[in-house]
A and B are shown apart, each in its own frame.
Chain A
Amino acid sequence: MKPGTSSDLSTSGDRWWTDPRLRPGLVITLGLGLLALLAPVIAPGDPAALGSAADRLAAPSGSHLLGTDLLGRDVLSRLVHGSRVSLLVGWVSVLVAVLLGTAVGLAAGMGPRWVDRFLMNTTDVFLAFPRIFLILLLVSLTTPSLLLVMTVLGLTGWMGVARLVRAEALSLRERDFVAAARGLGLSSWRVATGHVLPNLLPTIIVAATLRVGSAILAESFLSFLGLGAQEPTVSWGSMIQQGRGYLLDGWWLATFPGLAIALTVLGYNLLGEGLRRRLDPRGGREGRDE
């Protein structure tokens, strides 16, 4: 393989593992993904099983590696199961945001000028809303549920993606290969989806990865306020909320979920940053060979 293929997604699969820029992020995020997938197998016990009176608020020990909570439930088991909620919310809400943002951005970047103006003004209006208050308002007006959290996070998170995609599409549409495609009589739809969109993929993937971290943070925040995941579903945010009153007597209650959130966000940011450096031909290695 020639040098300078760093911008290509499809042909450099063999080197993903060995790329030092990606390794830390990949290890953390893949590890967490496995943890969430295999939660029932990995977790030492049932996250909802109540312990005996003696087991309540027990410090970390041999029988409960990370201690127990007020109801005697095993913190490690709850932590492992909680990863499912965090990752699910993170990924689904980002997926919603990215799909919506890409559609809006591509339409604005490739469409006629009035479409661009309309869509970008709409985006500006959405950006002007204080996101967190919008979420709080919507969630508190209805019954809190995970589905609602995911939808709301998705519907309020697409604007950044839309702007990114539009900017990139505006520059791509001036490239010669797009002119060549138009010259061959392809329809605007075909040009946008067949030629511009595939070249946007690296940008979109990086943006999505970097946003997963912040979506996970947002979910924890909502759950901490009691507006996210509801019992018996375990979530890291609600675990912190429950441990908040026992920072001295039961420091393990809030500390471990807090660390888990921090590690997850760090993992996705590292992965996103690594992807950006790998997929952006101007970052890191040398550019094209000709």
Chain B
Amino acid sequence: MSDLLRVENLRVSFPGPGPESGTKILTGADLVIGPGEAIALVGPSGCGKSLLTRALLGLLPDGADWTGTIRWRGEQLRDPRGRNWRKVRGEGMALVLQEPQTSLNPVLSVGDQIAETVRVHSGVSRSEARGRAVSLLAEMLVPDPSEKADCYPHQLSGGMRQRVLLAAAMACDPDLLIADEPTTALDVTVQREILALINRVRRDRGMALLFITHDAELVPLVATRRAEMSGGRIITHNHLDRPAVLNAADDSLSREPSGGAFIRPAGEKSPVLKARGLVAGYGPVRTAACPRAPVDGVDIDLIPGRALGLAGESGCGKTTLARALSRHLIPVEGTIELEGEDFLSFRGSRLQARRRRVQMLFQDPAGSLNPRQVVGRALSEAVGNNDPVRAADLLTEVGLFRELASRYPHELSGGQRQRVSLARCLAADPGVLIADEPTSALDMGSRNRILSLLMRTMERRGLALLLISHDFGVLHAICDRVDVMYGGVVVESYRVVERSRNRHPYTLSMMAAAPASLNRGQRWWLDAGKGLQKRSGPSPAGCPLAGQCPLQKPHCINELPPLVEVAEGHFLRCPEAGEGGP
């Protein structure tokens, strides 16, 4: 057999004193990687994925005990500090980690860091190494590679830093690239670019890939084989013959609009929260350098028992809008009407009482709970009268045991924390719930459970829900209407039941990042290979997409197109959209 890497019955445990003592992390993992093969290793956080990669590299933390066999090209690796394993680390395998910020040395220019790796492995001269570094950057499609080589890590964007790390990993010309959640810290559109880059580099170099992720949706985009990990061992291997199949976790969520359960009785209730012409930002907005505010003229209607989705990549103004709607940030312009009253005029104790009607569920459940407050106290404080019975009822309502009331947040799992946060929101008996990426910090399993809990809660309590996400699969499963936001303005607003192929170019580019959410009629966008260009230069005064858009016309640069109703209930801020499709 000509395997590149063969792992048999790998077990890792931590004996001796220390916080993890006695726990077995890996309990007999087997893995075979052939030359040039691309394998995705999927599993929830904490299942031992990262430890497996460290074991492969012989970089287990001190105090870890391991047994089993690891063979590289048929040769068994025994001593992590020995010459064989060092050679494999240096020339055979390369590792790219999740967080490009911390993997790079902040005080060295990126070119020097890549050149250093080149020199260690090939012993060429300084200037030669620098030349290789620049050509590696060019291979990773870094624009102006020789200029970028002189940049320091903090001067580059997250996606660019990840390209630098890939370039450094390629410096030793490895046979196997181990990528440990390389795109988790990036937003969807950048994520997709990096994945495409990894694919291309792998094919060009005939390199094998071990791609580790908790996000099952990415698997078909990079891998030909999928290994699933759970409880310290690898439980399933699938060959992915056909690309881009929906995974099981998704099926439970996506309720096609044809399903009867989805369509609710007609007859709109009047909105509980109504925002008009909201302009919001931090510090001075609409300056000469940046003519558009982070949120620049947004109208929102939140209707009881209905969910409105707000989509957009990071930095598009979603979170600023959420904070303005909940009055954590006072808008610069515009009005917010809460249950018929002017929300922005409230002051003092009246504000304290009325703002309880608008609750916010935050992205990071670890940060949204006071680390020094037990769950029960947080909830009874939120109820307002320190009633422990009511607090316990709330725990039951969100599907938690009452016993959790005496726990501190750090003693809970991510999913449990998010449930507690939701319970705290419900304690205030809100009319509006704003959920800002409530599941993006969670793994797949808890993600789906939290989303269905959100939906049940909304229906039972008749809440108006504003769900912020960049994941169209989630939005389409839960929401009645989706607003797509970019550059501080809503570029499109559509009802989910309406599966029009007439979409804003930005909406399509976001949907293309998760191909499953495109319907058949919308795939022309992917097939035509159209995509947004990287913008160079300042953001335009006109359409926020100007300079990036394949459908761009001259007038897009200087005037912002109006939001026009192109079909019943479908609003689009692009006069050119719909003409690109076949």
Contacts and interface: CB of A to CB of B under 8 A. Distances in A.
A52 interface: no
Given A176-B367, A180-B421, A184-B356, A199 B372 contact: yes
A205 to B, nearest CB: 13
B381 A11 contact: no
Contact of B19 (A3, A186, A201): A3
A3 B384 CA distance: 33
B352 A7 contact: no
Interface string A174-186: 0111011111111
Interface string A1-42: 111110111110000000000000000000000000000000
Given A194-B381, A198-B372, A288-B410, A185 B366 contact: no
B45 A199 contact: no
Interface stretch (B122-130, B357-365, B468-476): B357-365
Contacts of A10: 372, 408
A290 interface: yes
Interface in A241-290: 285, 288-290
A8 B408 contact: yes
A145 to B, nearest CB: 39
B424 interface: yes
A4 B323 CA distance: 31
Nearest to B356: A185
Given A2-B19, A198-B373, A180 B362 contact: yes
A198 B360 contact: no
A184 B45 CA distance: 32
Contacts of B326: 183
Contact of B356 (A4, A177, A183): A183
B149 interface: no
A195 interface: yes
A211 B19 CA distance: 32
Contacts of A2: 19, 410-411
B427 interface: yes
A61 interface: no
A201 B356 CA distance: 28
Interface in A145-183: 175-177, 179-183
A127 to B, nearest CB: 28
Contacts of A285: 19
A152 B369 CA distance: 40
A185 B352 contact: yes
A184 B360 CA distance: 10
B414 interface: yes
B20 A3 contact: yes
Contacts of A201: 372
Contacts of A3: 19-20
B15 interface: no
A182 B368 CA distance: 12
B563 to A, nearest CB: 30
B358 A183 contact: yes
B382 interface: yes
A9 B372 CA distance: 9
A142 interface: no
A290 B366 contact: yes
Contact of B414 (A175, A179, A181, A290): A290
Nearest to B367: A176
B359 A183 contact: yes
Interface in B391-416: 408, 410-411, 413-414
B428 interface: yes
B328 A183 contact: yes
B291 interface: no
B370 interface: yes
A5 to B, nearest CB: 6
Contacts of B372: 8-10, 198-199, 201
Contacts of A143: none
A11 B414 CA distance: 19
A141 B421 CA distance: 58
A185 B355 contact: yes
B353 interface: yes
Contact of B367 (A7, A9, A175): A175
B428 A184 contact: yes
B206 interface: no
A180 B370 CA distance: 9
What range describes how many residues of A lie at the interface?
20 to 34
B371 interface: yes
B368 A176 contact: yes
A285 B17 CA distance: 14
B90 to A, nearest CB: 27
A3 B381 CA distance: 28
B21 to A, nearest CB: 10
Contact of A176 (B46, B359, B364, B413): B364
Given A183-B355, A184-B382, A177 B368 contact: yes
A195 to B, nearest CB: 5
A7 B408 CA distance: 12
Nearest to A197: B372
A186 B352 contact: yes
Contacts of B428: 183-185
B410 A176 contact: no
A182 B329 CA distance: 12
Nearest to B18: A3
A288 B411 CA distance: 11
Interface string B112-151: 0000000000000000000000000000000000000000
Contact of A290 (B328, B352, B413): B413
A288 B381 contact: no
Contacts of B384: 184-185
B371 A182 contact: no
B353 A185 contact: yes
A262 B292 CA distance: 61
Contact of B424 (A5, A7, A184): A184
Nearest to B348: A187
Contacts of A7: 371
A38 to B, nearest CB: 35
Interface string B421-440: 10010011000000000000
Contact of B362 (A11, A179, A290): A179
A3 B363 CA distance: 23
A50 B367 CA distance: 64
A177 B410 contact: no
A58 B117 CA distance: 70
A182 B328 contact: yes
A2 B407 CA distance: 12
Interface centre among A179, A180, A181 (most CB of B within 10 A): A180
A199 B371 contact: yes
A290 B45 contact: yes
A177 B328 contact: no
A244 B545 CA distance: 79
A69 B469 CA distance: 78
Q: Sorted from nearest, which 3 A-B pairs have the closest CB atoms?
A: A3-B19, A176-B368, A185-B352
Given A185-B355, A290-B45, 16 more contacts: A1-B19, A2-B19, A7-B371, A8-B410, A9-B372, A10-B372, A176-B363, A176-B364, A176-B367, A176-B368, A177-B367, A180-B368, A180-B424, A181-B370, A184-B359, A185-B428
Interface of B: 19-20, 45-46, 323, 326, 328, 351-353, 355-356, 358-360, 362-364, 366-373, 381-382, 384, 408, 410-411, 413-414, 421, 424, 427-428
27 contacts: A3-B20, A4-B410, A8-B408, A11-B411, A176-B368, A177-B369, A179-B328, A179-B360, A179-B368, A180-B369, A180-B424, A182-B328, A182-B355, A183-B326, A184-B356, A184-B381, A184-B428, A185-B351, A185-B352, A185-B353, A187-B352, A195-B370, A195-B373, A201-B372, A288-B366, A290-B45, A290-B46
